[in-house]
Amino acid sequence: MTGAAHPSPRRALVTGASLGIGEAFTRRLAADGWDLVLVARDAARLDGLAAELTGRHGIEVETIPADLSTDEGCVAVERRLSAIPPVELLVNNAGFSLSTPFVRSSVEDEARLIRLNVLSVLRLTHAALGPMSERGHGAVINVSSVAGFGVPMPGSTYSASKAWVTNFSESIGQSVAPLGVRVMALCPGYTRTGTHERAGIDMSRLPAWAWLRADDVVAEGLRDLRKGKLVSVPDWKYKVAAAGLRHAPRRLLRGFRRDTRGAADRADG
């Protein structure tokens, strides 16, 4: 965020705020003096985090326990995005992956993934951009993944959902930039958040050097937002990988994915 043009304190809304990259966003923003609106399914964990951040940084923290794969959850957050005091920064971080291949997965689980990873991002971005455009400032960070850079992952809808998030964010970001509003896709690689373990995905084959720290992902993402980037890929090795994935022949990518299919498809924590 630009900082100087906006009144203090600023207020950010973070979804998936109680764990992983979302929690790292809340801690970084709180340390920078932002008031917060925290959204996640676990009300008790949200309340504990809110009390900790308020006590440590003296900020205001609201909580919204909500399941964003449901209409009710999205409506609750949409209402807050339209309310006062205004939200200056929306971080759409909530999302998940399935450890079951598509042909063995249930339609219900796959639909829930699309509702959370895609539909909730669309709905909340839309809800935020109206008030932001009227005020002439504000920003949205949609947490995507390097898995979305044109890499069809065998049996998985996760990479397809993240390809949508990146394309959507880049497209909408171009359209609202003249209004003084920014939208950016944050596309990390494998990030240590505990998400893989909770999803039952075996990550033992992934080398240590491939892992990113959630705090580093957040710091680079916020720097890139200040620079006005539409897409942020934290860490030089994933920048190289993303560039290669965008231009490599599709046949080569399919072969690479077959060779590495034991690795998880959850890249953003």
Catalytic residue among 25, 34, 149, 158: 158
Distance CA 247, CA 244 (A): 5
238 is catalytic: no
Q: What single-letter amino acid sits at 263?
A: A
Distance from chain centroid for Cα 226: 17
- Record the tokens describing residue 153, joined without a space: 């992952």
**What are residue 183's phi and psi, to 5 degrees?**
-130, 130
Q: How many residues does the chain have?
A: 269
Strand partners, 140: 90, 183
Helix (H) or strand (E) holding 222: helix 214-226
Distance CA 182, CA 218 (A): 17
- Per-position b or e across 167-189, b if 16+ CB within 10 A of its CB: ebbbebbeebeeeebbbbbbbbb
Whose structure tokens read 């049996």?
155
Strand partners, 40: 65
Distance CA 186, CA 18 (A): 18
Catalytic residues, by residue number, are: 158
